[in-house]
Amino acid sequence: MSPAYQYYFITLLIFFGVNTIACWSLNIQYGVGGVMNFAFIMFQALGAYLGGVLTLGPSTGASFQQYVFGATLPFPLPWIVAAAAGAALAWIVGSFALRPARRDFQAMVMLVVSIIASTVVLTEGWLFNGMNGIAAIPKPFQSRLSLGEIQYGWFYLAMTAIVVLLVYLLVNRLTGSPWGRRLRAMREHPEALSSLGVNIRAESMKVYVLGGALASLSGAILVQFIGAWSPGSWDTGETFLYFVAIIVGGAGNNFGAMLGAALVLGVFEESVRYLPSFGYAGLAEAIQFMLLGVLILAFLWFRPSGLVPERRRRLTRLLPAVGATGGETQTGADRPTAGST
């Protein structure tokens, strides 16, 4: 394989890793917890911006880009700070966006917040360099390791894979736990769960903050590899893209989310690159998004559970073994009585 193809391949895989983390973040918020985070891309953007400025060093008047919070933090601090900032932002937004009891309302407010955030960052150039965004972000360890471009790519891919694994362990542990079950119940009928003693607003906030941290982390990982980030990378269509990925892949299922990341964010997104260019710049993208809209409607209509539906948890497996002989040792309690329906 020629070096160019190798590098492309590595880049694809890193994107896949980042998108998997992002999809798991949105999945635990929406697929598991029922919190429809229409401000998703804002969190990823925060992580990306912070990951950038925290390695670029303080913004000097002479440099070609201006931004806040400049520093040169050693790896992995930028990633950690980004995740923490994502959690903090989620806490702030959640404090008013999660107030309405209706979740479509919450979604709408989050969408509004996201649009406002992108407008503010665009117009207030002092924040993150406005329209041009930040660039020339140094890659971690690059100078120290003095690897070739391809080898460094493999190195970064390995680091990404480690984080993906760690996030998987975390998310899997949480969704398989009684707390995960509680989140799913909240998704199904928050009012009923509330009447059983669960504080819906508090639990929504927890899953929102967790998702916020993971989304920001994914942004930081991405930005330190691609080296640049601008408002073009995070318009609200991107949030929509992630929702398509989850719904197509299978909301509520971690493997489904990963599949969605591969199919929608990987295959579908990349396939546009191979089409012959036609029309004016942006036309292909517009058609692409139209198709995505139709795709999500099709799935919502025909297969709302997605390609890989949520696993059914057969709790009867936790019961002590009835006995290989077929249950004669059981008392009559196990057999449906005459009054059964």
Partner 1 sequence: MNQLTLAIGFGLVTSAILALGAVGFTLQFGVSNILNLAYGDVMTVSAFMAYLVNAGGAGIWLAMCAGAATGAVVSVLISTLIFTPFLRRGTSRFAMVMVSLALAVILQNAIQAVAGPAFRSYSRSQGTSLHLLGMILTPYQLVIIGVAAASLLALHLLLRYTRIGKALRATAADAELARSCGIATERVSALAWAISGALCGLAGVTLALNLASFDFHFGNAFLLVIVAAAVFGSVGQPYGAMAGALVIGMASELAAIWTPALKQVVAFVILAVILLIRPAGLWRKSFVQMDVAAR
Partner 2 sequence: MAAAASSAALLEVTDLRVEFAGVHAVARASFAIRPGMITGLIGPNGAGKSTTLKLIAGAERPTGGQIWYAGRDITGHPAHEVARQGLIRTFQLSSEFARLTVLENLLVAVPHQHGASFVSALRGRHSWRAEQAALVSRGMDLLTEFGLAHAADQYAGELSGGQKRLIEIARALMAQPRMLLLDEPLAGVNPRLRETITEHLARLRDQGLTMMMVEHELQAVDRCCDPVIVMAAGRVLAEGSMREIRANKEVVDAYLLG
State which of residues 14, 27, 40, 184 lies at the interface with partner 2 (CB under 8 A). 184
Complex with partner 1: residue 46 or 81, whichever CB lies closer: 46
Binding of residue 301 to partner 1 (CB under 8 A): yes
Indicate the burial class of 6 (C-beta count within 10 angstroms; 0-12, 13-18, 19 or more): middle
Binding of residue 111 to partner 1 (CB under 8 A): yes
Q: Per-residue string for binding with partner 1, 46-85, x by CB under 8 A?
A: ----------------------------------------
Question: At its nearest, how many Å lie between partner 1 and the CB of residue 58?
Answer: 25
Binding of residue 328 to partner 2 (CB under 8 A): no
Binding of residue 303 to partner 1 (CB under 8 A): no
Binding of residue 286 to partner 1 (CB under 8 A): yes
Binding of residue 257 to partner 1 (CB under 8 A): no
Q: 328 CB contacts (<8 Å, ≥6 apart)? A: none
Complex with partner 2: residue 273 or 314, whichever CB lies closer: 314
Binding of residue 91 to partner 1 (CB under 8 A): no
Binding of residue 329 to partner 2 (CB under 8 A): no
State which of residues 60, 123, 177, 271 lies at the interface with partner 2 (CB under 8 A). 177
Binding of residue 322 to partner 1 (CB under 8 A): no
Binding of residue 113 to partner 1 (CB under 8 A): yes
State which of residues 237, 270, 327, 330 lies at the interface with partner 1 (CB under 8 A). 237
Binding of residue 263 to partner 2 (CB under 8 A): no
- Count the site residues for partner 2 by CB under 8 A: 45
Query: Which residue type sits at 294?
Result: V
State which of residues 312, 326, 328, 329 lies at the interface with partner 2 (CB under 8 A). 312
State which of residues 185, 228, 284, 287 lies at the interface with partner 2 (CB under 8 A). 185
Evaluate whether 219 touches 37 at the Cβ level (below 8 Å). Answer: no
- Count the site residues for partner 1 by CB under 8 A: 50
Residue 104: CB atoms within 10 Å = 10
Nearest C-alpha neighbor of 140 from the set 219, 70, 72: 72
Question: At its nearest, how many Å lie between partner 2 and the CB of residue 132?
Answer: 40
Evaluate whether 286 touches 52 at the Cβ level (below 8 Å). Answer: no
- Which of partner 2, partner 1, none does residue 300 bind (CB under 5 to 8 Å by kind)? partner 1
| SS3 labels along the chain | CCHHHHHHHHHHHHHHHHHHHHHHHHHHHHHHCCCCCCCHHHHHHHHHHHHHHHHHCCCCCCCCCCECCCCCCCCCHHHHHHHHHHHHHHHHHHHHHCCCCCHHHHHHHHHHHHHHHHHHHHHCHHHHCHHHCECCCCCCCHHHHCCCHHHHHHHHHHHHHHHHHHHHHHHHHHHCCHHHHHHHHHHHCHHHHHCCCCCHHHHHHHHHHHHHHHHHHHHHHHHHHHCCECHHHHCCHHHHHHHHHHHHHCCCCHHHHHHHHHHHHHHHHHHHHHCCCCCCCCHHHHHHHHHHHHHHHHHHHHCCCCCCCCCCCCHHHHCCCCCCCCCCCCCHHHCCCCCCC
Complex with partner 2: residue 271 or 313, whichever CB lies closer: 313
Residues in contact with partner 1 by the rule CB under 8 A = 34, 36, 38, 95-97, 99-105, 107-109, 111-113, 115-116, 119-120, 123-124, 188-191, 237, 240, 243, 247, 280-283, 285-287, 289-290, 292-294, 296-297, 300-301, 304
Residues in contact with partner 2 by the rule CB under 8 A = 170, 173-174, 176-182, 184-185, 187-189, 191-200, 206, 210, 252, 310, 312-316, 318-320, 333-337, 339-341
